[in-house]
Structure 1
Amino acid sequence: MLKFLLVRPGATEFDQQGRIQGTLDIPLCEDGRRQTEEAIVGVAAENPTAVYTSPCQSAREAGKMIAEAVGAQNNTTVKSKPLEKMVNLNHGLWQGMLVEEVRTKQPKVYRQWQDQPHTVCPPGGETLLQAKARVGEALRKLLKKHKEGTIALVAPEPLASVVRHVLHHDEVTGLWKGSERCGLWEAIEVVEELPTGVA
C-alpha cells in the first residue's frame, strides 16, 4: 500500500491578497515560508522516500524545503522533482483578478464555479475535466513507480483539491478557498491503481 502525503505550499502574496493565481508563477511570501516550515515537521515525520511538486515556484520552494528536512533527518540525499502535468489549473483571463472582482462582476458564474466547477470554463482557461485528465495521468505514473511506502506531492490550490478528488473520488467544490488551506497537508492511503481513463 502506498501512502500519499498531499502538501499545500504556504501562501504567496496572491493568496494573501485574495487573487486568482492559476498558472502564474509566484514565490512563497514570508508568511508562506513560515507556514511551510510548520508543515515540514509533520511531513518529515512521515519519512517520505520521494518528493514531487507542481512546477510552480511556490511548490518547488516548498518541495525543496521538505526534501532537505527529510534528507537531514535521515542523513541521506532526497531531491524534489517537478512534474509538468501537475501545473495548476489554468484560469485564463481570470488570473491575477481578485476573487471578489469575479464575485461582484459575474455573480452567477462565481456561484457556479464554487458549487459546480465542472460546468464552468474560465475565459481562455481550461475546464476541470481537462485538469482532472492530466492529473489522473500523472498520478497513474507515480502509482506505477511507487507501489508502496510513502511519497510526498506538493501542489497548490486548487490543484491539490483536484488531486484529492482523483485519489478519493469525492466531490470538488470551493476551489477558490485555497488561501484557507495554505501550508496544510494530509495523508491519503492508496490501496489500488487508478483505472485508466479516470478523470
Structure 2
Amino acid sequence: MSRTATLTRVMVIRPGATDFDDQGRMKGSLDMPLSERGEQQVETLAAALADIPFKTIYCCPSESARATADRLSEAHDVKVKVVDAFKNVDHGLWHGKLIEEVRRNHPRVYRQGIDHAEEFCAPGGEGLMEAKARVLKALNKCVRKGRDEIVALVIPEPMASVVTSLLNGQPIEDLWRRETDSASWELIDTEI
C-alpha cells in the first residue's frame, strides 16, 4: 500500500527589526528587543496577515520573535508556542559585527557567504549546516502537528533562511542579504 504525502502550508515570518538590524549588524543568537521601527513593522505585518487562519504560532525564544508572535497571536486569538530549537544561529565572535565591516575586512569570507552560504561559520560560532541539523527535528514536529492548516513560524534571520531551505529543498543563497529582519513573510507548501 502506497502512502500519499500530505501538503502542509508553512508561513515563515521574520520578526520586526531590532537596533542591530537597523544598523546592519549581525545579531545572530543575541536576544534583543524590537526597535521603534521594528514595532511599526510588526503592526503593519499584523494588519497584512489579519485574514490568515493560524491555529498555532511557533516562535524562536528571542525577544524580537516573541514580541512579533505575541502581536500576531492577539490579532488571531491563538496560542504562541516557543520552540528552543528555533534559536537563531550563533555567530560566535562576530555577534554585533557590521556586515559592511566583514565585506571590507574579510573579503574572502564575505564572498563565501554569497557563493557558498551553507559553508559559512563565524569564528567561534555555529555553521549553517549545523543549524540545519539542529532545527530539523523540531521543524518536522511542528509541520506534522499542523496538517490541514497553515503553520506559522516566527523565526529571525538567518535561521529563517535555514528553515526555508529545509522546507523548499533549495540551498541558502547570499547569507548577507539574509542577516537582518524587517517583518517579512513567505508561504511555503511542503510535503510531509
By the TM > 0.5 criterion, same fold?
Answer: yes
User: Are residue 84 (structure 1) and residue 84 (structure 2) matched?
Assistant: yes
Aligned-residue offset at 1:55: 0.8
Q: Aligned pair 1:50/2:87, yes or no?
A: no
Q: CA deviation at 1:154?
A: 0.5
**Which consecutive unaligned segments of at least 5 residues does structure 1 have?**
72-77, 194-199
The answer (yes or no) to whether the contact 1:3–1:188 under 8 Å persists in 2 is yes
Q: Which runs of 4+ in 1 moved over 4 A?
A: none
Identity of aligned residues (%): 42
Structure 2: gaps (5+ residues): 1-6
TM-score, normalised relative to structure 2: 0.92
Q: d(CA) in 2 for partners of 1:152 and 1:106?
A: 36
C-alpha deviation, 1:180, in angstroms: 6.5
Verify the 8 A CA contact 2:119 2:129 in the aligned structure 1: no
Residue matched to 2:96: 96
- Equivalent in the alignment of 2:131: 131
1:37-85 per-position Cα deviation (integer Å, ceiling 9, x unaligned): 11112323111010011111100000000001101xxxxxx22111100
- Residue 39 of structure 2 aligns with which residue? 33
Alignment-derived partner of residue 3 in structure 2: none
SS of 2:12's equivalent in the other structure is strand
TM score, norm. by length of structure 1: 0.89
Which residue is 1:197 aligned to? none
Q: Which amino acid aligns with 1:177?
A: R
Partner SS state of residue 27, structure 1: coil
Give the Cα separation in 1 of the matches to 2:32 and 2:132: 23
Which deviates the most, 137-146 or 28-37?
137-146
Q: Which residue of 1 aligns with 2:110?
A: 110
Judged with a 3 Å threshold, the aligned counterparts in structure 2 of structure 1 residues 69 and 6 are, in CA distance, closer, same or farther, namely same
Q: 1:53 to 1:26 in 2, by over 3 A?
A: same
Contact 1:112-1:120 within 8 A present in 2 as well: yes
CA RMSD between the two structures: 1.4
Amino acid at match of 1:182: S
Give the Cα–Cα distance (whole angstroms) in 1 for the partners of residues 8 and 109 of structure 2.
38
Q: How many residues align?
A: 186
What amino acid sits opposite 2:124 in the alignment?
G
Partner of 1:145: 145
- Separation (CA, whole Å) in 1 of partners of 2:50 and 2:113: 35
Aligned counterparts of 1:173 and 1:12: Cα–Cα separation in 2: 23
